[in-house]
Amino acid sequence: MALSVDEAVSTGPAGDHTPPSRRFGGRGRAVLEVALLTVLAVVMLFPVLWMIETSIKENRDVYAIPAKFFDFKVTMEHFKDVFVASGGGRSTLSASFLNSVLVAGVSTALATVLGVPAAWAYSRFAVKAKKDQLFFILSTRFMPPVVVVIPIFLMYRQVGLIDTKLGLILIYTAFNVPFTIWMMKGFVDEVPAEYEDAAMLDGYTRLQAFRRFTLPLLLPGIAATAVFALIFSWNEFVFAIFLTSSDDVRTAPPAIAGLIGGTTVDWGLVAAASVVFALPVLVFAYLVRKHLVAGVTLGAVRR
Amino acid sequence: MAGIEVSALHKRYPDGTVAVDHVDLSIRDGELFVMLGPSGCGKTTTLRAIAGLERQTTGNIRIGDTLVDDLPPADRDIAMVFQFYALYPHLRTRDNLAFPLRAEGLPKAEVRKRVDEAAGLMRLGPLLDRRPHRLSGGEQQRVALARALVRRPRAFLMDEPLTNLDAELRADMRTEIKHLQGELGTTMVYVTHDQVEAMSLGHRIAILNKGRVEQIGTPLEVYDRPASLFCAAFIGSPPMNLIEVEVADGKLRSQGGLALTPPPGLPRDRRLVAGVRPEALEVTEPGAERSVPARVVSAEWLGDEIIYVVDHDGQRDVRVRMPPTVRFTADAPVGLRHTGGPPPVYDVSTEELVA
């Protein structure tokens, strides 16, 4: 979110490039745009700011009325509580974070390993009823996931996947594979098939040609796709809360949600856990921001 | 070096598309053989089948004496040049050239010798340490050609190699390829949709349409006597005028009365169309001897010649090639007459050459 605001604000100065005759109108418009975007940014970013503030306030200040914006005592206790249990040793929240890392990481890796070769095959070969197959693959993403949560719950109960990390990994992979195939097919289409043809004439098998020549050119696309898949798996809440219950299986989103609802709510802890939870995705998105844009504007790239 | 025999080639894709219906080709050793046709005619699929990049559904391909149907591309001893050059982007020119040789496992000294030789032949000296993205289109294509050369293959396969170059460079490269092929004497199969390229390069041309061979012949044969109405309409710019004609008293006349020199052996009682080249017609003053009345619709002034488009009774848009000195204005009443030898005549129903 912070990213889009940055980009939008930068259109402000661009208004100065309008021809002199329309300059006043142009500048007026630019000022208006910046003002509107600033308002929007404040509205959107205030909860984030409040979350960060709460995570470093002492409990006394958290509940203070009127609310304290600036003159509070900074403490790192809440962050410590996220990772360390009150009696010493690891907290249950930290276990949830580890589960999240494991589930999101493995499901993303699986989706990539399965999806990239499939995308390559769909891009390169004349497959029977290719369009229908691709449509079918895409159609699994048409409905909101919550629609299938009950059937999945029942199926998982039958096969004993309820309340297991494997169960979550499988369902996240199932959701990420279609996405990976579609997004990667666009990237593979961009890489001329002639590289593989040439390599095959030079003595490589088709798979070797793919691995040695096409795959390296696909790496940026794979990175972008994997980050999208990772963000999906990392943020996923509905399946996680329905399909898992025990503390050593739970991922972070339901675990954080579980902090709310007791007789007293430790808002400092909730905020600190949320900050820790949001950071990895922000860092990842920042690292691959160029590729994310490339992924969104797919097809607009010249060959 | 070797000739290439393609017999009864048929390629059907799993989705049901028939790319090649039935193709027989007999390409001679040392020949520059051009496959020409509109997009989707099966020329590229045929070439890729020869290369081994596509497996034909039925039919056989021989390179030299070897039946190559079941050989992978690498074992067919051929080199291919692609429309998009397909230079490995992460390798410098030198390594791009050496790559196929290293894949073959040649000793280092031999690799260097052959790379230098090919680089010399294609004048790539200053480009040897650059990567593909720092080369212009023309330079990339020269590197691609050199990469085909280093292998010293039995045959070159060229898949529209000049399509992505601008017009001037294309003409230069055409000359270069023709010269190179003549020097090396290696069999070359060249696929293009550009008839100028086909005419100027080919020893022989095969014209393909809808997965079938319409005609095989030297450029002149193909130009003078197109084997079918498709070829007649495809070759030449502007293409042949297809004029409906009748045979009467041993004479060949269009409906508007334009008299054409009759070829021998004309069949009667069939609907016929004569293929008349624009240069075999003449626009004259109205009422000139042997001319029929006509009207100028438009004139294209090309500098070295003028293409007149004229209507005459029952026949619209007849194209006539005239020297730039003969000038008529649009809408002017003129005469039209045939000056060339006997035109090829086609049966309207079979679309084939009958005389």
Domain harbouring B278, CATH code: 2.40.50.140
Instruction: Please compute the mean of the pLDDT values over residues A173-199 and round it to a whole number.
Output: 91
Backbone φ and ψ of B81, nearest 5°: -115, 130
Contacts of B85 in chain A (CB under 8 A): 194
- Residue range(s) defining the domain that contains residue B131: 4-233
Please judge whether A198 and B14 are an interchain contact, meaning their C-beta atoms are less than 8 angstroms apart. no
- B279, B217: one domain: no
Q: Would you tell me which CATH number, out of the four given (3.40.30.10, 1.10.3720.10, 2.60.40.10, 1.10.3210.10), belongs to the domain A92-296?
A: 1.10.3720.10
* Average pLDDT of span B333-354: 90
Write down the pLDDT at residue B10: 95
- In this predicted model, what pLDDT tens digit does every residue of B100-126 receive, in sequence order? 888 888 899 999 999 998 888 888 888
pLDDT at A12 over 60: no
Task: Please state, in angstroms and rounded to a whole number, the distance separating the CA atoms of residues B316 and A52.
Answer: 81
Residue B26 lies in a domain: yes
Last residue of a domain, one of B185, B218, B233: B233
User: Is the whole-model pTM more than 0.80?
Assistant: no
Chain B residue with CA closest to A191: the answer is B86
Name A244's Cβ contacts closer than 8 Å, sequence gap at least 6: A162, A163, A164, A167, A168, A250, A251, A254
Is pLDDT at A86 greater than 80 in this prediction? no
pLDDT above 70 for A295: no
Nearest to B86 among A130, A192, A203 (CB): A192
| Range with lowest mean pLDDT among A159-163, B46-50, B157-161, B270-274 | B270-274
Size of interface A-B (CB pairs under 8 A): 60
pLDDT in tens, A270-279: 999 999 999 9
Whether residues A127 and B15 touch (CB distance < 8 A) is answered with yes
User: What confidence tier does A140 reach under pLDDT thresholds 50, 70, 90?
Assistant: confident
Q: In sequence order, what are the residues at sequence separation of 6 or more whose Cβ sits closer than 8 angstroms to the Cβ of residue A208? A: A199
Whether the CB-CB separation of B201 and B182 falls below 8 Å is answered with no
Shared domain for B228 and B245, answered yes or no, is: no
Question: Domain for residue B132, yes or no?
Answer: yes
Whether B333 maps to a domain, the answer reads: yes
User: Are B139 and B277 found together in one domain?
Assistant: no
The total domain count for chain B is: 2
* Mean pLDDT, range B300-325, rounded to an integer: 88
What is the DSSP code (8-state) at residue A187? Answer: H
Q: Is the pLDDT of residue A232 over 80?
A: yes
CATH number of the domain where residue B180 is located: 3.40.50.300
Domain boundaries, chain A: 2-83, 92-296
Task: Identify whether residues B88 and B22 lie together within a single domain.
Answer: yes
Is the domain of B172 the same as that of B62?
Answer: yes
Domain end call among B190, B207, B233: B233
B74 and B193 in a common domain:
yes
CB contact (8 A) between residue B103 and residue A204? yes
> What confidence score (pLDDT) does residue B340 get?
84
CB within 8 Å: A200 and B85: no
| Both structure tokens of B276 | 């008349």
- Report if residue B88 sits inside a domain: yes
Using an 8 Å CB-CB cutoff, list chain B residues near A129.
Answer: 15
**What is the predicted pLDDT for the residue at B21?**
94
> What's residue A219's pLDDT?
87
- Residue B265: strand, helix, or coil: coil
Kindly indicate the confidence band of residue A130, based on its pLDDT and cuts at 50, 70 and 90.
confident
CA distance A202 to chain B (A): 5
> Does B51 sit within 8 Å of A201, measured CB to CB?
yes
Phi, psi for B293 (deg, rounded to 5): -65, 140
How close A109 gets to chain B, by Cα (Å)?
26
Same domain? For B147 and B256 the reply is no
Domain presence at residue B354 = no
Report which DSSP code applies to B227. S
What are the respective helix, strand and coil percentages of chain A, to the nearest 5?
75, 0, 25
Q: Which of A122-136, A180-194, B215-229, B243-257 has the highest mean pLDDT?
A: B215-229
In a domain, B206, yes or no: yes
The whole-number pLDDT of residue B215 equals 94
- How much is the pLDDT for B1? 64
User: In this model, does residue A300 exceed pLDDT 60?
Assistant: no
Could you tell me if the ipTM is greater than 0.85? no
For A204, which residue in chain B has the nearest alpha carbon? B74
Q: How far is A130 from chain B (nearest CA, A)?
A: 8
In a shared domain, residues B307 and B198: no
Q: What percent of chain A has pLDDT over 90?
A: 40
Residues of chain B neighbouring A213 (CB-CB closer than 8 A) = 88
Asked whether the predicted pLDDT for residue B171 surpasses 80, the reply is yes
pLDDT tens for B42-98 read 999 999 999 999 999 999 999 998 999 999 998 898 999 988 888 888 888 998 899
Mean of the per-residue pLDDT values for chain A?
84
Same domain for B83 and B214, yes or no, is yes
Closest by alpha carbon to B229, among B273, B259, B170, B189?
Answer: B273
pLDDT at residue number A38 = 94
pLDDT bin (cut points 50, 70, 90) of residue B209 is very high
At residue B347, φ and ψ (nearest 5 deg) are -80, 130
- pLDDT (mean) for B295-323: 88
Mean pLDDT value of segment A91-96: 88
The answer to whether residues B81 and B144 belong to one domain is yes
List the B345-347 sheet strands across, edge first.
B259-260, B251-254, B241-248, B272-276, B345-347
Q: What average pLDDT does this structure show over A111-140?
A: 91
Question: Does residue B355 form part of some domain?
Answer: no
Position A294: which residue type? A
Confirm or reject contact between A160 and chain B (CB < 8 A).
no
Whole-angstrom Cα distance, residue A107 to residue A230? 8
Taking an 8 Å cut-off on Cβ atoms, the answer to whether B74 and A128 are in contact is: no
Has residue B352 been placed in a domain? no
Query: Do the chains contact at A129 and B79, CB–CB below 8 Å?
Result: no
